């Protein structure tokens, strides 16, 4: 392979990009994509308390953060591939129970378990694979792969009511479970933990490593000096974690309540769902655009530009009652920002720590990030007026912008 030209998007790389995008789509959909449509249908069909479901949904997002921490050791010991396959299979079984149980307490417990497992295949799995395969190109790569996260807005949310209405809760969730099983089987057969194991090089660059097999072995045996205590004592852990986390909190509080809020303002369901669907398309644009900005200007600068954009979007939400144009403009900006957020954070962690120490760092920073997302979902049940919630979001976004500005992006990991 000495004569192989550098190419970060060869056939194997593209295959892995598609696979990780699917992981992101699954995790975002079945954990955080149910509040606007799926849970209200469960409440109507089963006669369950929608407020309790929304509250536990926020806790389930926090459980994903718990999964990031709890399963970080597993990804180091068994590799991202095995962790991804196992957590997908368990999630598939739980989805069947999720759709068929008549027990509300069991339903809520399963919801939390599904959230926890997302910290396996989506966060520790998909993100670690990305850091391993593209140590320096991760910005532009995540710009593509995190399109799977924002695809929830037009692939999952608008389609689920139609599927449930036609096939029922049990059959629909069983169908989703089968999809997860198929993805797990594909992962078991085709996915490799590192490019070296696949006969490739990091970033597709043959000059990156002379002996791929030796590098793969070294990575499996590597003991990161970045212990939990060391990471927690670093000020940048909190600036990056809380800065990005406040942004995720604001975004999730908007997304989890977007349709009900527009209905409360007197707009019809067709327009509200259209804003959601069109916003999802713009989220893909945002994901790609900020991936390019990340690659060209660096993650920290891209993050600062991101904050300026999303603050403008939330300022416009305060004018939503004044006309539908403000619903459209604010929604498009916020959804586009959502598309950028979930690729900027792992890119920043990889920029600062590199692929060798990425897992140890992300388990802490990612935990803070996901906890904030869960709080954002839970906020929708605490505020009776969306305007008050959006004002709080704006305050937190300004604080997050300050945190990101004072954070340091100097590389401190292993080259």
Q: What is the DSSP-derived secondary structure letter of residue 6?
A: P
Q: What is the pLDDT of residues 95-116, one digit of tens each?
A: 999 999 999 999 999 999 999 9
Split at pLDDT 50, 70, 90, the class of 2 is very low
- pLDDT confidence of residue 90: 97
For residue 53, tell me if it sits in a domain: yes
- pLDDT confidence of residue 1: 41
Is the sign of the CA dihedral 33, 36, 37, 42 positive or negative?
Answer: positive
For residue 333, tell me if it sits in a domain: yes
Split at pLDDT 50, 70, 90, the class of 310 is very high
Distances (CA, A) of 233 to 27, 222, 364, 372: 30, 22, 11, 20
Is residue 408 classed as helix, strand or coil in its secondary structure?
coil
Mean pLDDT, the chain, rounded, equals 86
pLDDT at 153 over 70: yes
pLDDT at 297 over 50: yes
Q: 13-27, 162-176, 257-271: lowest mean pLDDT where?
A: 257-271
Residue 238's closest CA among 118, 125, 364?
364
For residue 1, tell me if it sits in a domain: no
- pLDDT confidence of residue 154: 78
Neighbouring C-beta atoms of residue 354, cutoff 10 Å: 18
For residue 371, tell me if it sits in a domain: yes
Q: The pTM is what?
A: 0.78
- pLDDT confidence of residue 167: 92
Q: Taking residues 132-137, report their average pLDDT.
A: 77
Q: Taking residues 326-339, report their average pLDDT.
A: 89
Is the sign of the CA dihedral 152, 154, 157, 162 positive or negative?
Answer: negative
Neighbouring C-beta atoms of residue 105, cutoff 10 Å: 8
Full residue range of the structural domain in which residue 227 is found = 11-191+223-406
How far from the centroid of its chain's Cα atoms is residue 231's Cα? 22
Residue 8's closest CA among 145, 156, 157, 150?
145
Tell me the C-alpha distance between 211 and 203, whole Å.
15
For residue 314, tell me if it sits in a domain: yes
For residue 245, tell me if it sits in a domain: yes
Measure the N-to-C terminal CA separation of the chain; round to a whole number of Å: 22
Alpha helices in 191-257 (DSSP H): 212-221, 228-232, 235-255
Give the CATH number, domain containing residue 50. 1.20.1250.20
Tell me the C-alpha distance between 100 and 121, whole Å.
24
Number of domains in the chain: 1
Q: Please, what's the b/e burial string for 249-277 (b: 16 or more CB within 10 A of its CB; e: otherwise)?
A: bbbbbbbbbbbbbbeebebeeeebbbbbe
Q: What is the pLDDT of residues 378-403, one digit of tens each?
A: 887 777 788 999 999 999 999 999 99
Question: Which of residues 377 and 205 earns the better pLDDT score?
Answer: 377
- pLDDT confidence of residue 99: 93
Cβ–Cβ under 8 Å, residues 336 and 284: no
Q: What is the pLDDT of residues 3-45, one digit of tens each?
A: 455 566 788 889 999 999 999 999 988 987 887 778 888 988 9
Cβ–Cβ under 8 Å, residues 148 and 20: yes
For residue 93, tell me if it sits in a domain: yes
For residue 119, tell me if it sits in a domain: yes
Split at pLDDT 50, 70, 90, the class of 54 is confident
């Amino acid at each position: 392979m000495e004569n192989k030209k550098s190419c970060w998007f060869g056939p194997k790389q593209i295959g892995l990009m598609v696979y990780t995008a699917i992981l992101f789509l699954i995790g975002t959909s079945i954990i955080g994509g149910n509040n606007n449509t799926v849970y209200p249908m469960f409440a109507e069909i089963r006669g369950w308390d929608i407020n309790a479901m929304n509250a536990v949904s926020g806790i389930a997002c926090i459980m994903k953060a718990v999964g990031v921490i709890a399963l970080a050791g597993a990804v180091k010991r068994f590799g991202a591939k095995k962790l991804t396959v196992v957590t997908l299979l368990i999630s598939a079984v739980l989805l069947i129970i999720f759709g068929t149980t008549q027990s509300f307490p069991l339903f809520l417990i399963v919801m939390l378990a599904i959230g926890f497992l997302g910290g396996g295949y989506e966060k520790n799995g998909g993100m670690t694979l990305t850091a391993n395969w593209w140590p320096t190109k991760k910005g532009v790569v995540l710009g593509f792969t995190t399109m799977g996260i924002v695809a929830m807005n037009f692939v999952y949310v608008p389609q689920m009511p139609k599927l449930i209405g036609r096939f029922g809760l049990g059959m629909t969730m069983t169908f989703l479970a089968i999809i997860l099983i198929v993805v797990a089987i594909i992962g078991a057969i085709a996915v490799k933990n590192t490019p070296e194991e696949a006969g490739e090089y990091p970033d597709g660059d043959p000059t990156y490593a002379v002996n791929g097999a030796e590098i793969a072995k070294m990575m499996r045996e590597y003991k990161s000096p970045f212990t939990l205590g060391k990471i927690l004592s670093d000020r940048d852990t909190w600036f990056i974690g809380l800065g990005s986390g406040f942004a995720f909190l604001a975004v999730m509080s908007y997304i989890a309540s977007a349709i009900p809020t527009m209905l409360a303002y007197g707009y019809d369901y067709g327009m509200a769902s259209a804003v959601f669907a069109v916003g999802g398309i713009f989220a893909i644009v945002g994901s790609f655009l900020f991936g390019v900005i990340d690659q060209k200007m660096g993650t920290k600068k891209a993050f600062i530009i991101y904050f300026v954009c999303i603050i403008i979007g939330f300022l416009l939400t305060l004018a939503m009652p004044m006309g539908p144009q403000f619903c459209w403009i604010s929604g498009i900006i916020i959804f586009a920002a959502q598309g950028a957020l979930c690729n900027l954070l792992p890119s920043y962690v990889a920029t600062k720590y590199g692929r060798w120490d990425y897992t140890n760092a992300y388990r802490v920073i990612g935990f803070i990030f996901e906890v904030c997302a869960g709080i954002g979902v839970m906020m929708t049940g605490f505020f009776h007026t969306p305007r008050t919630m959006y004002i709080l979001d704006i305050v937190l976004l300004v604080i997050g912008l300050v945190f990101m500005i004072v954070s340091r992006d100097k590389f401190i990991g292993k080259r």
